[in-house]
Structure 1
Amino acid sequence: MGLAGAVWAQLPVSDFTLAWKHTIEHIRWEEDYRVTAEGLVLGEARVKGTGAGMEIPDDAVLREGSWHYHRQLAPLQPLRLGRTPEAGDYQLCFNQRCHSASEWLGPPKASQPALELWSCELDSPASKGAGKG
């Protein structure tokens, strides 16, 4: 998977969770994605509560303190995210750990208000993340 803001990085993952906190309600939101050749495929999404602009779908199920639901979307290529200092940062969770996007891109900046994620192929396992994206 590739990600970009002011710079780009490549992560050798087949799936990940994108997480963030709502800017007004400060409620955690999570979306699970699978990396495919066609793009990033959204699987399950979870949100801990409702609030301003946070409508829970009618078919959502409350389980373990979060509303769980699925959306039917075409693969996203790229997935474009707003990223500003006022909104805080996104987390990318994979291999049982969560990482702030700042680890790869530095802190959110008003001059770079967006982040794009997309699927890409690695040249080979020996390339250690330096493939085409």
Structure 2
Amino acid sequence: MLGLCLGLAGSIWAQVPAEQMTLSWTHTIEKIRWAEDYRILPNGFILEQARVKGSGAGMEIPADAVLKDGSWHYQPKLPLLPTLRLGRTPEAGDYQLCVSSANNKVQCHAMSYWVGEPTTAQPSIELWACDIPN
């Protein structure tokens, strides 16, 4: 079964069955909500859509973005991403991770639900696609 592994340097801290995921967070400086929708493939992630509530430091809205329901929606044009490396510190707050699997049931939790609270001793985490035993 395809899933999402969370950890660092190949060390698995948690495994979550998933075929798609949405990663959301609040920008630490601008306090603006950001969300990205990914399709999970055996060899990585395809970023299918992103949404941002407004612009700010390092958050320029692409020219082709469309304002809908209070957020700018756009489709980033990125190649397959083998891993996602995320900064994760107590000062920045936590990510929200929503996953859906083959039965289309969506499950949303703070990332700390799966891997514990962010700490200054471990300021990053990696996400990668992995096989999860049934």
TM-score, normalised with respect to structure 2:
0.86
Trace 1:1-133 onto structure 2 (pairs within 5 A).
1-4=4-7, 8-94=13-99, 95-123=105-133, 127=134
Identity, % of aligned positions: 57
- Aligned counterpart, 1:130: none
* SS of corresponding position for 2:113: helix
How big is the alpha-carbon RMSD for the aligned residues of Structure 1 and Structure 2?
1.5
The answer to whether the 8 Å contact 1:2/1:8 transfers is yes
Structure 1 residue ranges without an equivalent (≥5): 128-133
Aligned-partner residue type, residue 48 of structure 2? G
Cα distance, 1:100 vs. partner?
0.5
Matched positions, count = 124
4+ residue segments displaced more than 3 Å? none
Q: Taking structure 1 as the reference length, what is the TM-score of the superposition?
A: 0.87
The SS at the match of 1:104 is helix
Q: Which runs of 5+ in 2 are unaligned?
A: 100-104
